[in-house]
Amino acid sequence: MLEARGLVRTYRLGRAEVPALRGVDLEISEGEFLAIMGPSGSGKSTLLNLLGGLDLPDAGVVRYRGVELSRQSREALAEFRGRKVGFVFQTFNLIPTFSALRNVELPLVFQGLSRRERRRRAEEGLAQVGLESRLRHRPGELSGGEQQRVAIARALVADPEVLLCDEPTGNLDSASGAQIMELLASLNRERGITLVVVTHEPEVARLAGRRVLMRDGRIVSDGSGEG
């Protein structure tokens, strides 16, 4: 489903060059639950951004179902991100002045759907994450766990095939984090959504069927998440 070959990405800070990825190869199968682990600065988030088309590599290729992302137009990449991939971030990235409902509706605005259809799908999405009674609440009126559930509903509302999550429990207490991870795991288990989670938490990674460990911009191990 997703394939990375020889990925290289270097960031330039003034005159300094900071290598983030140093030739990464990775294949992700449809319906897989993959955890990407490693210390800060190992390249986890950079890899996730390249897999989702949020950034492009300096060298190497990312293919989605055989289509090379770097060869796509800006419009085609936006279409890919809007319809095929859902993103969940550590910082929630909700619009503070919007209600939960409007935050979840937002990705659908760019798909040309009617207001009625957007509302219906957003309500369904919030119900799927257990927030049907919190539609009108703004992010500041919700707990951290509830805000992340809104972010997950927003990621799911366009019915993506892949869900890319960057430290989704990083800003949550342990109980809320466990609930969020069970929700994500159930989406993978029951709906077959391909799930890729960047995390530094072993208890999160243990839920995955496969673990990849990164260090210094390279994958140093790749195997079963069991044990």
pTM of the model: 0.93
**Sorting pLDDT into bands at 50, 70 and 90, what band is 96?**
very high
Classify residue 184 as exposed, middle or buried by CB count within 10 Å of its CB (0-12, 13-18, 19+).
Answer: buried
Classify residue 133 as exposed, middle or buried by CB count within 10 Å of its CB (0-12, 13-18, 19+).
Answer: exposed
Per-residue pLDDT tens for 109-124? Answer: 888 889 999 999 999 9
What pLDDT is attached to residue 80?
Answer: 93
Cα separations (Å) of 120 from 53, 104, 123, 219?
A: 28, 11, 5, 42
Domain of residue 173 covers 31-56+70-224
Report if residue 129 sits inside a domain.
Answer: yes
Per-residue pLDDT tens for 17-56? Answer: 999 999 999 999 999 999 999 999 999 999 999 999 999 9
Q: Which of 202, 204, 199, 194 is nearest to 27 (CA)?
A: 194
Task: Please report, for the domain that includes residue 96, its CATH number.
Answer: 3.40.50.300
Q: How far apart are CA 177 and CA 123, in angstroms?
A: 23
- Into how many domains does the chain fold? 1
Report if residue 11 sits inside a domain.
Answer: no
